[in-house]
Amino acid sequence: MRSSKINYLLVGMFVLLTIAALVVSIAMLTGRTGAVDAYHAIYRNVTGIKFGTQVIYEGYPIGQVESVAPQHQEGGMVFRVDFTVQQGWKIPEDSKVEIAAPGLLAAKTLSIHAGSSKTALKPGDAARTLDAPDVFGAMTSLADQLSSLVEKEVKPLLQNVSFAVNDINKFLIGDGTTLVNDASGLIKDVSGRLPQIANDIETFTRNLNNASGEVMKLASMKNRKQIEDVLDHMEVAAIKFNTVLSATKQVVGDLNKLVVDPKGDVDAIVGESRYIIESVARHIDSINQNMEGAARNMNEFSRQIRANPGLLLSGTAQTDKARR
């Protein structure tokens, strides 16, 4: 009897120890083995995230997801993910939390990318987030785009290529012989003209050589010297021409000053010219009479000289036969 009670006691203690070990193991697996700090993050897509999802900091596990709750915001639905980490774990405030999988077949985790800020988040703060890349969605989108490309671009292109190949076959079968015959005739024609073409090329080359010789003669030392002398004379002439232009500009400037200045010499010249013209106008009658008398005297003098040229030597007056 006493032996059975000892057995029951041992079995009970073993069961209690097993239960305690199971509880400790579960607590360690869930990361809730001590005090924790709570944080939260906002995502538009939480595929693969649920209660118990592991939270890692640069690859090191530090906590787990506690809850995922939808929230309404302007522009659509978002999801609040509450997670806890080991108490006292410092997370820089510019750190970013991303939904990521360590491997292709691994479960999703909340991966915290450490920032460089010296200020840490306070428990209860919202962490910055990175949108999780949806690999399967991207592959599905790529497959849809490829399918659309095949339907809209590749198939019509293959059809056009097929039509082009058929046309080429028809051309080769139908007009290929004619084309070959034409090409053969053209080759024969060109072959017959090749000697003449070669002669023309040789003549052109000879003329080109002669022309280059003439050019070299023109470029001789004597001709270059003469050209340099001409250029020197032209330079001297240009300098003189510039001097003439400068003098002309100065004369034009003086004329402008003379014309523009109403109080200068032009005014005096105009006044004197007016006085002279008025004086001539007053005496013009007497001047005309004197000029007329002088003209008659000159006529008489010239008539007497023509009649008796000796008057220029003797000075004796000719007798007037008309008075006798």
Which stretches does DSSP call E strand in 19-136? 36-43, 54-57, 60-73, 76-86, 96-100, 109-113, 128-130
Sign of CA pseudo-dihedral 21, 27, 31, 36: negative
pLDDT band at 324 (very low <50, low <70, confident <90, very high): very low
User: Could you tell me if residue 139 is inside a domain?
Assistant: yes
224-240 residue pLDDT tens: 777 777 777 778 778 87
Would you give the DSSP letter of residue 92? B
User: Could you tell me if residue 24 is inside a domain?
Assistant: no
What is the pTM (predicted TM-score) of this model? 0.38
pLDDT band at 205 (very low <50, low <70, confident <90, very high): confident
9: which 2 tokens?
């006691």
* Range in 31-45, 55-69, 137-151, 296-310 the model is least confident about: 137-151
User: Could you tell me if residue 163 is inside a domain?
Assistant: yes
User: Could you tell me if residue 270 is inside a domain?
Assistant: yes
Same domain, 41 and 101: yes
- Contact yes or no for 55/85 (Cβ under 8 A): yes
- Contact yes or no for 109/56 (Cβ under 8 A): yes
Task: Report the 10 Å Cβ neighbour count for 66.
Answer: 18
d(CA 188, CA 105): 74
User: Could you tell me if residue 169 is inside a domain?
Assistant: yes
Indicate if the pLDDT at residue 305 is higher than 60: yes
Same domain, 115 and 41: yes
Same domain, 214 and 125: no
Same domain, 242 and 269: yes
- What range defines the domain where residue 158 resides? 134-174
Which is more confident, 81 or 264?
A: 81
- Contact yes or no for 37/87 (Cβ under 8 A): yes
pLDDT band at 70 (very low <50, low <70, confident <90, very high): very high
Domain count, the chain: 4
Query: Average pLDDT in the 2-7 region?
Result: 73
Task: Report the 10 Å Cβ neighbour count for 132.
Answer: 20
User: Could you tell me if residue 322 is inside a domain?
Assistant: no
Q: Among 96, 115, 131, give the residue marking a domain's end.
A: 131
Helices (H), 135-220: 135-149, 155-174, 176-218
d(CA 254, CA 140): 92
User: Could you tell me if residue 14 is inside a domain?
Assistant: no
Q: Among 131, 161, 196, give the residue marking a domain's end.
A: 131
- Contact yes or no for 92/119 (Cβ under 8 A): yes
How much is the pLDDT for 232?
79
Q: What share of the chain is helix, strand, coil (3-state, %, to 5)?
A: 60, 15, 25
Same domain, 96 and 80: yes
Same domain, 67 and 125: yes
283-303 residue pLDDT tens: 777 777 778 878 787 877 777
- Contact yes or no for 121/38 (Cβ under 8 A): no
Residue-by-residue DSSP string for 71-85: EEETTEEEEEEEEEE
User: Could you tell me if residue 255 is inside a domain?
Assistant: yes
